[in-house]
Structure 1
């Protein structure tokens, strides 16, 4: 009995601890089919549960719900177990089968059976953790939140549709919307937000965030997370936040709208899935940014989809102004005229129109409107609109964002220079000369580097929408009215962040001595300037510009003596015939321009200006004498411009060239020559390059070859303007030579003038093609060349913008039919913006066939009685030209079909009575 008592616990121990495990493992070997069958049954049940939950989720998403986090985790686990079960079943079926469909591999049976039992237990466990239907879903946040929009939105439909097209059909995942401050970028972005948030909810998420001037990565991430309903911790670093955002969005369709971006935003650091090409809207992950700087688009590699918002046209401007002011008020005949002019002065800038309209909305008396118009016309815009409190601080952010004080000062000086004529555009080179004259571009020994710095600043200002292209040429720029008023407001309110200065740009004050006496810079421009103070003391005056006035023909005695600090003096385009000798007292003067004045000589005292660096005398047609030794005394001179100084004789030219050789700092010269010896010497002047060359009245010259024999490659590449005038025997102009160096060309030549070459028959190119040699030529003027037959070569010039062809009796057609066959595959005039054809009495045809004018804006035809047809492709895809001519000529034109005439009729402008086709008249008409 005692032994039985001892054996019972031992037997129990053996059975429980040893036999049961052995039995279980033996069971794995003996029952693989049963275990796999049980697993398959459990897996089917699990699969049904998964499908039920997925259907519930799909139905819920239609109702604006989404699965809870624990449901997503359960589904992921269940799918993993179900896949494992399927794998075990497949392995069981794939065993090596022998007699009676049994496998003799005990070890294989054992492993499969054991795995099946384990996975079945996992299925039972996960089924216990499955959720009830009510616990599966939670309400989704809306796709995006609608944002309030201004009541008056005008002129944005085109841009809105363009953005929609880029989002839904474009190949890239990032779009840039650019424009100056107040142009409507934010309003456009909000419209996009509202459209895709409610009207067309094709995205899973639409997020709108505003960045602003100070970019804060954490704030951007938190704004995005907030729009997604995603919780981020503030204590984590940017990388952790980015990972959370990325993991949430990587499989989602989303539209991210980023407003007011001032610098590059690294989307990867934010956590935005980015960089892949989208194939359709169904898998779209798109980012849209707004910015005032094209630089931001470039740095974010937005190249294809950049949409630039331009100012409203006149019709849209007037429509918006009426809506803001009130339609009934603008219907008043006493107010309507003033209202239209005030609206126009806003320059199509929506924000300026709205602020001005709101300021004028309460004014009911016509006298108030007339006074407001006077203020606007006198460049006192902010006194009308109250813009110094609302508009200007917004626009000033663009000014503050410029990279340096130098660029900011360049911006302000351009505004001051053009203040009296804001509608005028400027050639870039003239603007650069202003900045050079003020010492803003440095004094690098390589003056070409100085020019390149100037061009770079112009592009920076354009990309910041503080300057804009004028439309008359790539290198002509202007400033928007409101931006100009912003600049003057910055100076007037001492907010430029630099030395506080007082500027005089107001015509109403230009005769007041007390205003002059306290001014730092004075800018007076145009025929409105009729008088100047008879006497005044200007001890602080640094800049004085009195330009383009026919009424200023002399200066009072002692006028310049009281301007000891003056370092910039611009007297161009006035009627002064003699420079007062007291100019020698301006010992600080560094820049002096007397261009386009009727002066006949320079005073001896000019040689006392030992600090003078820039002397511009271009187109001083009556200048005959520069005192002996005067130029040699100007030791600091860097640039001398004597281009088109017609009355300088051969003897004087030779003497001047010898004096210039002694000026070791001279780097840039424009000159006029009348003999071959002077032409060769000036082209080979040491240290300096020739940026402008006028060859005139050169006796005995029958053929002129412009080649390395005259201009070495190192000199040729700097030439910017070339003029050939009054060379009576010249028959041929040959550019290049037979064995020419392939690197020789005139890449920077922008202006070519051929005038009164009465024997000229042809312009030829040897060893080089026109499009290679003259790749940068923009302006051509050919007149009074009566034997010239063809100028077909101009169609090869890729950058040509302006053509003037007048008084050439032998010209029958601009592009001959034989040459046209060769050119038919080319886009002959890709950039041509204006063409003037006055007094071509034998001109029969401009061109026929397939030559196009895609950029033409102005065409003037006068005194061409044989020209009965206009080119078929005159109306280009990118612009519709204005056509100036006589009414009689227009009505006598022959047309291929009625539609051609009707399509061009709205663009015809009759030349004014008394028009004779002179060059000044033509240029005035083309600027109309």
Structure 2
């Protein structure tokens, strides 16, 4: 302790000198880091403290406060990191412009998206800084120390996360430019070429054409055409200031559409704000901004018109000279949106073009290897009916087939499906696409694929969540048993294989998500509907009431996610085969779940009740003895979990962001199969229901370091067991370390080296 006292005396001297000059002429609280001498002394002091801490010295709390060292820490840190991001922006933009000019190439889509996102973040920071300045009369940098409004504080913290994400994404932009697509791709297909030429003509020559419709069969290439035209607009000198691409889908969600438009305009939406609250911001950003709004996959023109008006999007007129371009399977939808005189129809590929596309996806080496294979391939290509999506999906499925027997079997399978007296192109398409499903190598991958249709249409499916569900269902048990990490690895491998088969697509902006094309999803639902163990999928439909109890009967998987359901049935009496139940994101679902609701779900394995307002769980939940995955995250009113619950097979439990949760059962529980426990942002949870023999297979605990340090243990042996495992199983949340600084001297001394780098920059 001899070395501690001198350091405390040094701090007292620094603090005394600082207190004598801690305000500026405007009365603003000053920052000790703005003073070079004092800031340097603090830094040197902390270095010495770190040395003693490593040697085992202990420090008592002192009068030093978080506000003194880090006044407005979030804004200070945001200012530093946004400036670093601006440097990256300038560097990428300069390099891209030079490459485009000298090589005649164009920026890649990921680069264009990153540049737009960074500009948006820069503008949002400027807005925050302006708001803070407006509340402070100081002419210097002391305005950053003025207490911000609650809204500005929340905005700065949220924006800091986005800035860090954008900074990290820069390292992934390895390919900045690419060759401008030439006639070898889209424009060699005459229907798409003709449609693109007509779209250009209407857009650039018919100035009164405010709304333009692109219509055609599902999978015909409408989205491809729209994205190609978007690229042309972004690289063509013109007077359209803003170009916005939005996927609408069959059941349009006003809040989702408004948020996508707002993000591309640099508008920050606070959590809990309604569509009505944000509509004036959207309108203000667009009404004098000559913009082009590209609306993909529109089903109901009247509903969409009402939504756009409701969320604050002004319609094109002669005064604002803005334009809408929409795609739809139905020409009538285009008419209802106001495009009756300005429609572009995308037709089917001609036989020669279809054959070329099919060969490209199969591989000419395979087709040319045997004349009989070529005959079968030509037959299959013809049965795709000139539909590009079917040609690509089926062609990819046949790429690995190298024997005539495989080709004959595949061709006969297509023929059998078409003789089932199914009328209409939609069903013929599904029959054709089913070959790609049949070509999947095993039942496990097929089950994984069908599972994806539980999500809403045109949905961004988070890969980690999807794999969690697959593992929870036990789809990989035959190969990996209880080895959860290996099972998760297999799950990600299957996602890659489904993408390779064109059954899943990478999200346009975030590689951690995948999408399922709506036609492919229709096919998956069609397949699941023909099985004995059917699916009940009412996801993202805006339902106010849950399906009637009799509709639950006999289903293997039920998805009611992303609705507005208020109550669940009191009694479900016939669901013995139900293995997955997804009810997350029903924010109006409140109160207590009835004791009879889970009564017949004896084989349930995956249960997701996250982001609801349920207040308590019935003890009958404990009847779900086969449950392997349970997610109760963001059920904000839930304060405890019944002590009667017993989950002998539970492998993963998610209890994130439960501000009222104080206990997980009153007494220690045995979790013989538990491998993952997630309790992030559970600030009132001070004790885990673990004893010396609990959770022998536990691999990972997810939570904040500060929370871990404050946990209460009944017995020193129990604590020692989990402390010993701490370094092996504990996963600290990836939140900014600065957010975890308590207001006391001892923790300041244990601050991470990442904060020291902040000290240096702050000088």
Normalized per residue, which structure has more helix? 2
Give the number of the structure whose alpha-carbon radius of gyration is greater: 1
Shared fold, TM over 0.5: no
TM-score w.r.t. length of structure 1:
0.36
TM-score w.r.t. length of structure 2:
0.43
